[in-house]
Each structure stands twice: as structure tokens, then as C-alpha cells.
């Protein structure tokens, strides 16, 4: 079983649309498991008509709480907290949004007035789809530990893929290059980087490429909306050959992409559309690397 993560550095390049279209083709001949690792804005579920099968709470860490009856007001907690999460107003209290759950205050409090409580940070799910099981999650808005939730989603997906002897685990990655993107990348055999032909797209591709390289995951590139700016498409091509990264496909700007999205279907259902054809040839290039 191989694991392929779709990344882009920046959001909005079409990661999810491209992944759903690839999955739609791959599922015709292979056994798939899908994971949506963009836990703070999970969108893959919109394109694969999931039927919810399991729901689990996600405890993403702990949060400090001060018992006002035990607190002697010595302010040691205020002194040790490096995250500005202890508020001093009418008595000391914890700002749960600022608290990182490091427990420094808990260990420092001479009055044992601080408790560390589990923080319910979101939920994760298994759904069944016509393309295979989908593991996805919802981080409660503003919560920490999205990287940890990504790791949880991926672990559940890998276990299912192993027990079902699936051929391929496809992971929809989050934007950025930080903690959730790193968690989505780790352990994958291949990263498909979806790039957009713009000055910022080129900049973002360089950053995500440096990241996959840093973590030793081989990368391949496809360009989405490739005909929006041919000069920038050419620059991406040059970057790929300079960096020794295969450029596997170019998907043209195609209204069918948005039309199928509004119908909540992968673009491959608009058979014969330019984008669907481009994804088909992208899959032919990818297939020998994955299954």
C-alpha cells in the first residue's frame, strides 16, 4: 500500500478538486482509502457524498483552570506562563484561548489550586463513499493541535488501509508549510504538489518543495489553471527541471471545474471536458508511481 499526499503550500490551488478527480479514476481499478488532512477546513467530503459511519471525540491537549477558592493570589502562575494566558483581574484566571496546555502553572502552584482539564478540540469521522472509506475531521474553530488531529486521522486511515489491503491511501493536505502540513506529509511515499501559475504560486511551490525535501518525501508537480498565465506556467516548468522534480500534468482553466463543484461532483463526471481529460492523463502518469 502506498500513501500519496496532495499539497500546495497555498490554499485555493485546487488540491481537493484534483484529488477527488484522481480518486474517481483510481477507484475504478483499485481499492482506495481517502483521508482529508485539512482538518480546519475539510472540503473533500463535499465532493464524495459520504455516509457517516463513525464519530469520535478528539481531545487535543489540556487546558489549565484555577480554583478561586484555593488560590492564594501569589501570582507565581502569572510569572511562569509564557503565553500570556493567566489574566489578572478580579482574581487570577486562565484565558482558555491563550492557554497552550503546557502545565507550567500547574506544576508551579504552591497551593495546588490549578487543575489541567481535557480539552475537547474537535471530532473525527469515518464515512463510507462510493470511492472507498473516507477519514475526516472537524477541528473546533480556534483550537490548537491541528497537527495532532491530522496525525489521528491519518493513523485511522492507515489502519483501515492495512486491514483492507487497500492499494492506495490518498491524503488531501492542508495549506501552508507548518505543523498540520508537516503532519500530513510525514510517512507518505509521494507528495503531489498542485501549483498555480502566478507569481505567488511559484513562491509557494518553492516553499512546499523545500518542506517535502526537508522531510525526505519525493515530490511530483501538476499545474492547475495552467493556461491562466503561460509565462508563470513556464517558470514552474523551469523550476521543476532545475530541481529535478517531475512535472506530471497541466490542467487548463475550465468552467467545468466550478460547475461540477456546484453539483458536488468530481470534475471527471464532466466526461470529455478539458479538465477531466487533463486529470485522466495526470492519473496515467501517476499510476505507475503509486500502484
Partner 1 sequence: MVVTVASGKGGTGKTLVATGLADVLSGEAGSNVQLVDCDVEEPNAHLFLRPQLHRSEEVTHPVPQVDLTQCTFCGRCAQVCEFHAIAVLSGKVMVFTEMCHGCGSCARQCPEGAITEVPELLGHLEFGRAGAIAFAHGRLEVGQALATPVIRQLKARALPRAASTAMSILDAPPGNACSVVETLRGSDYAILVTEPTPFGLHDLKLAVELARDALGLPVGVIINRDGMGDAGVESFCAAAGVPVLTRLPFDRRVARAYSEGQLWTRVLPEYRSQMLEVARAVRSLTEATS
Residues that bind partner 1 (CB under 8 A): 9-13, 16, 38-41, 43, 46, 61-62, 80, 82-83, 97, 100-104, 107-108, 139, 141-147, 174-182, 196-201, 203-204, 207, 210-211, 214-215, 228-229, 231-232, 255, 258, 261-262, 264
**Residue 123 phi, psi (nearest 5):** -140, 155
Residue 161 vs 188, nearer CB to partner 1: 188
Distance CA 63, CA 102 (A): 8
SS3 label, residue 112: coil
**Residue 178 phi, psi (nearest 5):** -90, -150
Residue 180 vs 266, nearer CB to partner 1: 180
Residue in 24, 98, 109, 23 with CA at minimum distance from that of residue 63: 98
Residue 1 vs 179, nearer CB to partner 1: 179
Residue 25 vs 261, nearer CB to partner 1: 261
Distance CA 201, CA 184 (A): 20
Residue 132 vs 147, nearer CB to partner 1: 147
Smallest gap, in angstroms, from Cβ of residue 204 to partner 1? 5
Smallest gap, in angstroms, from Cβ of residue 28 to partner 1? 25
Smallest gap, in angstroms, from Cβ of residue 259 to partner 1? 9
Smallest gap, in angstroms, from Cβ of residue 31 to partner 1? 27
Smallest gap, in angstroms, from Cβ of residue 221 to partner 1? 16
Half-sphere exposure of residue 158: CA atoms within 13 angstroms, side-chain side:
16
C-alpha distances in angstroms, 249 versus 1, 103, 223? 23, 49, 6
SS3 label, residue 248: strand
Amino acid at each position: 500500500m502506498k500513501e500519496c499526499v496532495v499539497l500546495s503550500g497555498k490554499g485555493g490551488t485546487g488540491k481537493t478538486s484534483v484529488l477527488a478527480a484522481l480518486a474517481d479514476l483510481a477507484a475504478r481499478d483499485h481499492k482506495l482509502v481517502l483521508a482529508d488532512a485539512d482538518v480546519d477546513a475539510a472540503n473533500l467530503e463535499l465532493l464524495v457524498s459520504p455516509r457517516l459511519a463513525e464519530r469520535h471525540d478528539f481531545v487535543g491537549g489540556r487546558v489549565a483552570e484555577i480554583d478561586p477558592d484555593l488560590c492564594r493570589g501569589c501570582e507565581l502562575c502569572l510569572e511562569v506562563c509564557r503565553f500570556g494566558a493567566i489574566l489578572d483581574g478580579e482574581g487570577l484566571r486562565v484565558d482558555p484561548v491563550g492557554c497552550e496546555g503546557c502545565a507550567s502553572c500547574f506544576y508551579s502552584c504552591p497551593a495546588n489550586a490549578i487543575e489541567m482539564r481535557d480539552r475537547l478540540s474537535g471530532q473525527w469521522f469515518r464515512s463510507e463513499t462510493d470511492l472507498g472509506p473516507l477519514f475526516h475531521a472537524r477541528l473546533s474553530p480556534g483550537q490548537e493541535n491541528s497537527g495532532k488531529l491530522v496525525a489521528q486521522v491519518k493513523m485511522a486511515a492507515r489502519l483501515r488501509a492495512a486491514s483492507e489491503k487497500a492499494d492506495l491511501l490518498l491524503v488531501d493536505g492542508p495549506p501552508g508549510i507548518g505543523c498540520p502540513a508537516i503532519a500530513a506529509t510525514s510517512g507518505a511515499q509521494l507528495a503531489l504538489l498542485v501549483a498555480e501559475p502566478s507569481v505567488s504560486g511559484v513562491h509557494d511551490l518553492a516553499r512546499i518543495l523545500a518542506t517535502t525535501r526537508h522531510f525526505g518525501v519525493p515530490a511530483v508537480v501538476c499545474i492547475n489553471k495552467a493556461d491562466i498565465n503561460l509565462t508563470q506556467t513556464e517558470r514552474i516548468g523551469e523550476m521543476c527541471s532545475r530541481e529535478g522534480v517531475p512535472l506530471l500534468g497541466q490542467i487548463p482553466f475550465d468552467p467545468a471545474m466550478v460547475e461540477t463543484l456546484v453539483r458536488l461532483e468530481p470534475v471527471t463526471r464532466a466526461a470529455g471536458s478539458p479538465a477531466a481529460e487533463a486529470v485522466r492523463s495526470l492519473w496515467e502518469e501517476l499510476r505507475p508511481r503509486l500502484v
